[in-house]
Amino acid sequence: MADFDHFLNWTLKPGSHTFPGPDGGTCINEAALVAAGFPYQPVRCIEEMPACFSRPICRWAMRLNYEATDKQRQRLLPFVTRLACADTEAIERERAAYIHTRTRGRISFEAGLAVLEGALAIGRQADDLDAADVTSRMSTARSRAKPSTSMPEDYLAALFTSLAWVKQKVRVS
């Protein structure tokens, strides 16, 4: 899946998302759900991921996704299809220890990617996913996205303030 990011045309973003926008607009774990064939759902914490996903690896991927710049974050796309690799409790503990010993304190994004790659090499590997299936799943999720109808909070605050002012003026007149 080395070419995953080229055919996917999905945009990774920080945080959890109610539903992916037309360009994707999800975190790495939300994209991984869709790529693996699960229905889309926001992922606010790793425990919301299905059991077939490695908790330590998804937790580390979420941290990388959150701390990365927009440009760096897109470099996580090739890992989307590799997160559904949960193994025995012993292997999951080994993965967690591997990540923990290499991530004390702040590390660069490059070093974080190397840690993710190393943790993924421990234990069971995710099943190979057919590129056409993944593309179809992601396109289906993207097509279900509705255009954004939200307004910035400062706009709404100004709107409500002006409406309250008008309401007061109407009563006085």
End-to-end Cα spacing for the chain: 69
Structure tokens at 94: 């080994």
pLDDT for res 49: 94
Contact 110, 76 (CB under 8 A): no
pLDDT for res 123: 95
Q: Where are the domains of the chain?
A: 4-172
Least confident of 16-25, 26-35, 153-162: 153-162
- Residue 155 above 80 pLDDT? no
Quick one: pLDDT band at residue 25, thresholds 50, 70, 90? Answer: confident
What pTM does this model have? 0.72
E-assigned strands of the chain? 11-12, 24-26
